[in-house]
Amino acid sequence: MDKASNTATTSFTLDGEAVQCDPATGERLSYSLRERLSSRDVKIGCNAGDCGACTVLVDGAAVCACLMPTQQAAGRRVETQAGLVRDDPIAARLAESFQNHQAAQCGICTPGMMVSAMALLRQVPEPTPEQVQDALGGVLCRCTGYRKIIDAVVDTAALAGAPDGSGAVGSAVRRVDGLAKVSGTEAFGDDIAPPDTLVLRVIRSPHAHAGFVLGDVEEFVTDSPGVEAVLTAADVPGQNRFGVIPGFVDQPVFAERTARFRGEAVAVVIGRPDAMAAFDPESFPVTWAPLDAMATPQQALHPDAPPLNADLPDNVMCSGFVLHGDPKKALGQAEIVVAGTFTTGFVEHAYIEPEAGYATPVGDRIEIHACTQAPVMDREALEAILGWPASRIRMVPTATGGGFGSKLDVSVQPFLALGALKTGKPVRMAYSRRESMQSTTKRHPAEMSARVGATADGRLCGFEFHGDFNTGAYASWGPTVSVRVPVHASGPYRIADYRAEARAIHTNCPPSGAFRGFGVPQGAIAQESLFDELAEALNIDPLEFRIRNALGNGDETVCGQVFEQGVGIGACFEALRPAWDAGRADCDAFNKTGGHLRRGIGVAAGWYGCGNTSLPNPSTIKSGLLPDGTFVLHQGAMDVGQGANTVIAQIFAQAAGLPLEAIKLIGADTDVTPDGGKTSASRQTYVSGAAALRSGEALRARLLALVNAGPEAAIRAENGELLIEDGRQIHKVALNRMKPDTDGYVVAACETYDPPTDPLDENGQGAPYAQFGYAAHLATVEVDLHLGTVRALGFTAAHDVGQAINPLLVEGQVQGGIAQGLGMALMEEYLPGRTENLHDYLIPTIGDVPPIETLIIEEPDAHGPYGAKGLGEHVLIPTAPAILNAIYHATGVRIRHVPATPSVVHAALKEARHG
């Protein structure tokens, strides 16, 4: 009888070593590798073969470890990122190349990318970009826009791409935190907990709106082997509410009696890992009574619609308003007026790392390790939920595998804290992809109408905008969206007569929150599309029209704010001119040949105010010198892939007069690092950077003062000795003779920066931001007139960043933002209950993002560190309208809804032909 084993013990070779484990039947190889064999470099992003993060080599072939029963690996050779980089010289080179090109941003997809690349590189040592795309097509990345990954794999053999910067501000250097990402040692939210930790699973509403009754929960616990506890609203000792904006703290940790959106949590089950791996959520005792649900603002605004929140009878959560001049009169005087209605759908952040974390009780405190963009805000939420003082709660952010706005809100944190509290034991949880998509925030769908006028000589003359934003069942960052949109909907242009209003409307949808741009990208679609229509009506070149109306130094914004310096949008447009002229000519030449493929080029701009709107927004940066001569930077600005660890360190090093490599970073652990503020609103380079600059300068001044050295003196420390070289004189200070402070530093500095802003009045007039950043994109597309498919052929992106701290990081942000903008424009739409996975919800793959040329414009800002401005959100704002304008140029058809899927484009083409 040659029947193979039906015992559980499975033996195979893992990264060169013989291993054995005892998986449960049907256990995924990814789970066994991570939880039984310590290979946490294998990441889980979807458990469905959609994202490729868990890619390993089995007998040399790339497979998704989440799709292979562990027993199927018996007797085979399994290789993971960490083992490959350790043992295979090609992989070691690949890791170097990834670092050289900054091909890893957050790093969560990096294992899958590198392992997939290894399957190729072993066969084809010097692949073409196309071969790389084919080999890596099964791995999704949400940060990089893929181009740096392609560059890195292509450059593996040559290693010709090492950045040669010194580390000074303005120089391109590798990420200071890159090694862990490329070697498989980076620890994300689900990589911290010991394997035997109790596991939490959330019970969620399957209905968009439903009453519910919990059954006998105690009996369920007793009758379910391995289940230790259940959490419900009754287990919340403080307030069963969280939120991110004072006055809008409305979301329950656990719904009470009524669930208001599909995926809302009603309970948590806590059990041993084996029991929870086999747990069937259907077995939980809860009875649902589905209710009518409001899916759209239109339904929610109906006079008969029931209020979703008893305090808001009309379901209008809040609104924002800006009025400048007399738009009605101006539109009446305009030579040309264009108008249009534009709609956008829910967009999912789709970071490859689902929310995850680990909590442990420590004495009378709780420590929570989780991925996040805002550890101090997380702690504030938990203070209220637990009813505890901040001193009893420690947030230790893990590496965060992408955020893009959604990881500003708490997700797993309250469950983890309550679970640790209830059981008195360490607990862990990781959202499934479905949970992550169902329950965390989305980009607001928008219904926008606008009218814009211009004079015969092409000057803007009157602008009116109204937008309704579907804010879902709870507030989250909806108030911010409704404030931001009217302030930004003008774009970076001179518009004397302007009125804009935005409303956030409650529906039975997942909460809409922060997503790269806070509603500004939606508004830009309406505004930039209409500007193209105006230019055409006036027979003015679209770029020329924008240049003519671009905001300049000394011009008033629609909020009445005047920047005497730092307005770089004109320079962005001018920088695009050569590519624009060449691109127009290329497209026209291509289209003259006829055929069903048509090319077009489109331009669009964007601006974005960095930091909170008219609200305090400080960052604090602490630094110090240890007795052993180590310079320590408490880097509290969460790096979620965008590169704050490197940027803040470069700024600090420059200010302190130290080499970048001399700086040791300590992360945003709330016990030891002051609040760097949230990673949001494109504020970290600017605000935390400004604090880092001040901290560096203060530390330097204190060090120089020790020996009364002049301001030009050079500082270094070695072997416990501080050496200050002042001209020809070298002062030596024995650090171990100095008395350390309570943190252990012999010299320390702690500085805070808060951007100067002023409140907005009832007409939205004031000084909402201390600085704006500016951007303009060109998109070139090819449209298949038969199929309605749109392929992006290339982008040129001009960004005024004031001062590029690290040009390579700027490029990475630009490319990643454009990839997200492209997804929003062409393919992404989250539909509750329908696209709750990464094969129905489509994000761009490595074959969808064309080459991107980044033009860095440096119009220094008076407030930013070394003149630097924020960038994180600007990179996405012009992309979608540039693509829509390119589609128009190619086809003569204007698309006013995104995503412009092939079906949508085809219908519009057909209507234009027959209409």
Partner 1 sequence: MSYYAPTSLGDVWPLLAEGEARVVAGGTDLFPTQGDGPPPSALLDISRVDGLRGIDHDDDGWRIGGATTWSDIVAAPLPPAFDGLKAAALQVGSVQIQNVGTLAGNLCNASPAADGVPPLLTLEAEVALTSAGGTRRLTLTNFLRGVRQTALVPGELLTALHIPRQPTGALSSFVKLGSRRYLVISIAMVAAQIWLDEAGRIGGVRVAVGACSPVARRLFGLEQSLIGLRPSDLVSFSMASDALDTLSPIDDVRGSAEYRRAAVERLIRDALGQAVERSDG
Footprint (CB under 8 A) of partner 1, residues 743-802: 786-789
Restricted to residues 484-543, the positions that interact with partner 1 (CB under 8 A) are none
Contact flag: residue 436 with partner 1 (CB under 8 A): no
Restricted to residues 69-98, the positions that interact with partner 1 (CB under 8 A) are 69, 71-72, 74
Its sign, for the CA torsion 381, 382, 387, 393, is: negative
Query: Residues 881, 524: contact at Cβ < 8 Å?
Result: yes
Choice between 182 and 846, CB closer to partner 1: 846
Restricted to residues 133-162, the positions that interact with partner 1 (CB under 8 A) are 133-135, 137-140
Q: CB-based contacts of 276: which residues, under 8 Å, 6+ apart?
A: 199, 200, 201, 226, 269
Q: Which stretch binds partner 1 (CB under 8 A): 297-305, 374-382, 662-670, 834-842?
A: 834-842
Q: CB-based contacts of 776: which residues, under 8 Å, 6+ apart?
A: 546, 569, 572, 573, 575, 576, 603, 604, 605, 606, 797, 798, 878
Query: Residues 441, 448: contact at Cβ < 8 Å?
Result: no
Identify the residue among 143, 551, 826, 868 touching partner 1 (CB under 8 A): 826
Contact flag: residue 49 with partner 1 (CB under 8 A): yes
- Could you tell me the smallest distance in angstroms from the CB atom of residue 4 to partner 1? 4
- Could you tell me the smallest distance in angstroms from the CB atom of residue 146 to partner 1? 11
- Could you tell me the smallest distance in angstroms from the CB atom of residue 245 to partner 1? 31
The full length of the chain comes to 915
Give the pairing type, strands 210-214 and 227-231.
unpaired
Restricted to residues 118-137, the positions that interact with partner 1 (CB under 8 A) are 119, 133-135, 137
Contact flag: residue 439 with partner 1 (CB under 8 A): no
Q: Which stretch binds partner 1 (CB under 8 A): 350-358, 464-472, 559-567, 895-903?
A: 895-903
Restricted to residues 280-319, the positions that interact with partner 1 (CB under 8 A) are 280-282
Identify the residue among 419, 479, 677, 844 touching partner 1 (CB under 8 A): 844
Q: Which stretch binds partner 1 (CB under 8 A): 97-105, 468-476, 801-809, 898-906?
A: 898-906
C-alpha–C-alpha distance, residues 228 and 844, integer Å: 42
**Phi/psi of residue 83, each to 5°?**
-70, -40
Choice between 743 and 840, CB closer to partner 1: 840
Q: Which stretch binds partner 1 (CB under 8 A): 63-71, 188-196, 207-215, 653-661?
A: 63-71
Beta bridge partners of 467: 448, 502
Query: Residues 707, 726: contact at Cβ < 8 Å?
Result: yes
Q: Residues 28-47: x/- map of binding to partner 1 (CB under 8 A)?
A: x------------------x
Contact flag: residue 55 with partner 1 (CB under 8 A): yes
Q: What angle do CA 272, 275, 278 make, to 5 degrees?
A: 145
Restricted to residues 676-735, the positions that interact with partner 1 (CB under 8 A) are none
Identify the residue among 249, 278, 291, 496 touching partner 1 (CB under 8 A): 278
Q: How many CA atoms lie within 13 A of 168 on its CB side?
A: 4
Choice between 646 and 835, CB closer to partner 1: 835
Choice between 120 and 663, CB closer to partner 1: 120
DSSP 151-206: HHHHTTTT--------SSTT-----TTHHHHHHT---BTTSSS-TTSEEEEEEE-S
Choice between 673 and 835, CB closer to partner 1: 835
- Could you tell me the smallest distance in angstroms from the CB atom of residue 86 to partner 1? 22
Choice between 47 and 100, CB closer to partner 1: 47
DSSP 616-635: ---EEEEEEE-TTS-EEEE-
Choice between 28 and 506, CB closer to partner 1: 28
Identify the residue among 292, 910, 911, 912 touching partner 1 (CB under 8 A): 910
Q: Residues 393-432: x/- map of binding to partner 1 (CB under 8 A)?
A: ---------------------------------------x
C-alpha–C-alpha distance, residues 478 and 483, integer Å: 9
Query: Residues 818, 873: contact at Cβ < 8 Å?
Result: no
Rounded-to-5 percentages of helix, strand, coil across the chain? 30, 25, 45
Q: Residues 9-28: x/- map of binding to partner 1 (CB under 8 A)?
A: ---------------xxxxx
Its sign, for the CA torsion 737, 740, 744, 748, is: negative
Q: Which stretch binds partner 1 (CB under 8 A): 179-187, 275-283, 717-725, 804-812?
A: 275-283
Identify the residue among 98, 771, 901, 908 touching partner 1 (CB under 8 A): 901
Place of tokens 């970009």: 129
Indicate the helix (H) or strand (E) that contains 854: strand 852-857
- Which residue, among 433, 434, 556, 420, has the nearest Cα to 495 in the 3D structure? 556
Choice between 25 and 166, CB closer to partner 1: 25
- Could you tell me the smallest distance in angstroms from the CB atom of residue 345 to partner 1? 11
- Could you tell me the smallest distance in angstroms from the CB atom of residue 903 to partner 1? 4
